[in-house]
Amino acid sequence: MKPGAILLLLLTIMPQALYAQTNGLTLAQQSAVLQLVHAAKTGNKQQIASRVAYPLKRIYPLGDIKNKAAMLDRFDVVFDGKLLKPLARSGAGDWTAMGWRGAMLGNGVLWMDDAGNITAVNHQSEKEKRLLENAIREDRQQLPPSLRSFDKPLYSIITNHYRIRIDESAGDQLRYASWGLQRGKKEPDLVLYNGVYEAQGSGGNHTISFTNDVYRYVVAVNRLGSSETPEVLLTVYKNEKILLNDAGKIIRH
């Protein structure tokens, strides 16, 4: 092969190889990763907390982390050694570009947007697990006795007309309970079982549907959407005819 052809081949292959080694990360993402890794190596809590996109969601009924000060208070609960060590040892090759969702570390334990801000921490420390167990116990005691049997609460929702809870029991069984807005903590007006979960695309949007004879209650949770898209939409059908579209939001502590 002629030298010119070899040079052209190398110029073609090298960018592809470099792209593969960095799992598709842009230069800006690579720079953000290096800064975050350095902060983890040096134990710089202030810098890491400054790189979080708030509020940082935690598993309900734990409260979301609303700002940097709250993050610093709970830093060791969220960023324990089992998260900080692999983060500090990571390089660009341990992160993967995921298109519009940004980049993730490993299998998604940590997510970062294109601006280098941490958007999700999907790791749960042992301390946070204990806090979650306590929070679930407290949440359970606030309910009427008929609703206290569940494994974990999924959503607490307020719509224009109702308060709604969706809880999960053993075997991924989903339960729906609703009250009129003025009903307080009394027994619910409606309880439905055997909810069906359906993902809507890859962005986290999903629906949970419950059937009651000829009626169907569909709770749509919208992680993505326009500024006009409600966070939650309850749609009630009767024989596939829409009786109600009721916009709402998820209640977080």
Q: In the chain, pLDDT over 90 holds for what percent of residues?
A: 76
What's the pTM? Answer: 0.80
pLDDT reported for residue 146: 94
d(CA 40, CA 17): 28
Lowest-confidence range among 12-21, 27-36, 101-110, 205-214?
12-21
| Token pair belonging to 203 | 């962005």
**For the residues 176-201, what does the mean pLDDT come to?**
90
Q: Are 167 and 110 in the same domain?
A: no
Residue 21 included in any domain: yes
Q: Are 102 and 182 in the same domain?
A: no
Number of domains present in the structure of the chain: 2
Residue 78 included in any domain: yes
Q: Are 165 and 236 in the same domain?
A: yes
- Confidence at 75, pLDDT banded by 50, 70, 90: very high
Q: Are 77 and 170 in the same domain?
A: no
Q: Are 118 and 177 in the same domain?
A: no
Q: Are 93 and 148 in the same domain?
A: no
> What are the backbone angles phi and psi of residue 230, rounded to the nearest 5°?
-70, 150
Is-contact 206 200, C-beta < 8 A? yes
The domain boundary, picked from 92, 126, 160, lies at 126
d(CA 71, CA 77): 9
**Run of H or E including 177:** strand 173-180
pLDDT reported for residue 12: 42
- 155 or 19, greater pLDDT: 155
Domain with 24 in it: 3-126
Q: Are 94 and 159 in the same domain?
A: no
Q: Are 156 and 106 in the same domain?
A: no
Q: Are 102 and 198 in the same domain?
A: no
Q: Are 196 and 230 in the same domain?
A: yes
